[in-house]
């Protein structure tokens, strides 16, 4: 569906050349939700804007739905962009137009007749859950409702691809989740390919099938979301994974517990897929002469299954404790000893 080959983007500034995207190869499959995550300045916004030629690459090729985007004539590019919808962090709505008029705007530009415009707008209003708000103006809507209008407008021309440029960054957590649920619903109903950029691993965890991690204009790691959670390779990726699996309060709580000399051996257990539902702690207590205390734990859902991280303390004589740790590893559960070696 989308292929990037040796894509690069260099900006000329008064202080010299700045490389925003550096020699990236990337393939995104039809119908998948693909995330690009990175901190500010990583180059992710420039990357996504090159998919529809809002930014022309300095080097390399961009193909979307079999069409080479760079090098097109202005007319061909306008036609190709109708296959690519885009939503933005700050909505970019027309404030003097109603919800229905905002959604209809791309259809007006395309020259669709009024009757077909009205029919399509009604379909989209229902799809994004804005029934009864078609006559409202953006100033009368909540942030989540504004983004729903933005999504409906982006879908007006039945695109094959939807680009999401930090689409939930301006929203509160509950509203963010509702918008992410809507995107998943749209992906399933329409078979739409969705590419989103974000700096929040929660967004990646909740809806993406695959993810690329960007740093300094390069993709430093990519893969299935569940695999990235399970075995992050790069330091940058590990930082993002910790946003979801190890909140700051977990680290602070564990540091406080380490001051207790009787805490024993502290393990971080990582469960993936069906393993996250297993009664592992019960099995350990039944089979080994050890005491197990659960310090903190969390199970998260990804599009490909469950991911769980559990911190436990095991106390007892060295031999049964070692045997218990060996037993855990034999169950295909990843174990990291973080205290008490």
DSSP secondary structure, 48-62, as one string: HHHTTTSS--SEEEE
pTM of the entire predicted model: 0.80
Q: Percent of the chain beyond pLDDT 90?
A: 59
One domain, residues 59 and 180: yes
Query: What value does the mean pLDDT of the chain take?
Result: 88
What is residue 338's predicted lDDT score, i.e. its pLDDT? 82
One domain, residues 290 and 240: no
One domain, residues 163 and 296: no
One domain, residues 207 and 86: yes
Domain limit, last residue, from 244, 259, 291: 244
One domain, residues 154 and 259: no
Q: 190: Cβ–Cβ under 8 A, 6 or more apart, which residues?
A: 155
Which residue reads 């590419």 in tokens? 195
pLDDT at 190 over 90: yes
One domain, residues 154 and 225: yes
pLDDT grade for 170, boundaries at 50, 70 and 90: confident
One domain, residues 204 and 335: no
What is residue 305's predicted lDDT score, i.e. its pLDDT? 66
Tens digits of per-residue pLDDT, 83-137?
999 998 888 999 999 999 999 999 999 999 999 999 999 999 999 999 999 999 9
Q: Which of 33-37, 104-108, 289-293 has the lowest mean pLDDT?
A: 289-293
One domain, residues 22 and 143: yes
Three-state SS at 279: coil
How far from 158 is each of 15, 65, 71, 192, CA to CA, in Å? 42, 14, 24, 9
pLDDT at 277 over 70: no
pLDDT at 33 over 60: yes
Query: Across residues 53-81, what is the average pLDDT?
Result: 90
Name the domain count of the chain.
Answer: 2
Distance CA 24, CA 96 (A): 40
One domain, residues 181 and 314: no
Kindly report the three-state secondary structure assignment for every residue of 76-93: HHHHHHCCEEEEECCCCC
One domain, residues 17 and 104: yes
One domain, residues 56 and 113: yes
Residue 275's CATH number: 3.30.70.260
Which strand (E) or helix (H) includes residue 218? strand 218-224
Domain limit, last residue, from 217, 244, 271: 244
Q: Which residues of 152-187 are buried (b: 16+ CB within 10 A; e: fewer)?
A: bbbbbbebbbbbbbbbbeebeeebbbbbbebbbebb
What is residue 183's predicted lDDT score, i.e. its pLDDT? 95
What is residue 266's predicted lDDT score, i.e. its pLDDT? 87
Domain limit, last residue, from 244, 264, 297: 244
One domain, residues 222 and 88: yes
Residue 177's CATH number: 3.40.50.300
Structural domain boundaries enclosing 271 = 249-339
Q: In which order are the strands placed within the sheet that holds 161-165?
A: 84-88, 161-165, 193-198, 33-37, 210-215, 218-224
């Amino acid at each position: 569906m989308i292929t990037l080959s040796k894509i690069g983007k260099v900006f000329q500034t008064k202080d010299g050349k700045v490389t925003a995207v550096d020699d990236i190869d990337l393939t995104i499959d039809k119908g998948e939700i693909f995330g690009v995550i990175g901190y500010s300045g990583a180059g992710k916004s420039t990357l996504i804007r090159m998919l529809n030629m809002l930014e022309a690459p300095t080097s390399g090729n961009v193909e979307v739905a079999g069409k080479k985007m760079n090098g097109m004539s202005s007319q061909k590019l306008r036609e190709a962009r109708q296959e690519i919808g885009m939503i933005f962090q700050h909505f970019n709505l027309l404030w003097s137009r109603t919800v229905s008029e905002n959604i209809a705007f791309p259809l007006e530009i395309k020259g669709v007749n009024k009757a077909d415009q009205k029919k399509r707008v009604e379909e989209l209003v229902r799809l994004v859950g804005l029934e009864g708000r078609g006559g409202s103006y953006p100033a009368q809507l909540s942030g989540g409702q504004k983004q729903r209008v933005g999504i409906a407008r982006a879908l007006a021309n039945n695109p094959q691809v939807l680009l999401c440029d930090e689409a939930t960054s301006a929203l509160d957590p509950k509203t963010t989740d509702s918008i992410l649920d809507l995107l998943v619903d749209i992906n399933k109903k329409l078979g739409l390919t969705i590419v989103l950029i974000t700096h929040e691993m929660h967004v990646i965890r909740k809806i993406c099938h695959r993810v690329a991690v960007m740093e300094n204009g390069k993709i430093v790691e990519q893969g299935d979301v569940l695999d990235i959670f399970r075995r992050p390779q790069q330091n940058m990726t590990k930082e993002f994974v910790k946003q979801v699996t190890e909140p700051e309060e977990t680290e602070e709580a564990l540091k406080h517990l380490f001051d207790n000399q009787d805490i024993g051996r502290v393990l971080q257990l990582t469960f993936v897929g069906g393993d996250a539902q297993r009664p592992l702690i019960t099995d350990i207590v039944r089979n080994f002469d050890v005491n197990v205390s659960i310090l903190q734990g969390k199970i998260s859902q990804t599009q490909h299954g469950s991911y769980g991280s559990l911190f436990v303390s095991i106390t007892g004589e060295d031999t049964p404790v070692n045997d218990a740790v060996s037993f855990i590893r034999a169950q295909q559960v990843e174990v990291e000893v973080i205290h008490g070696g």
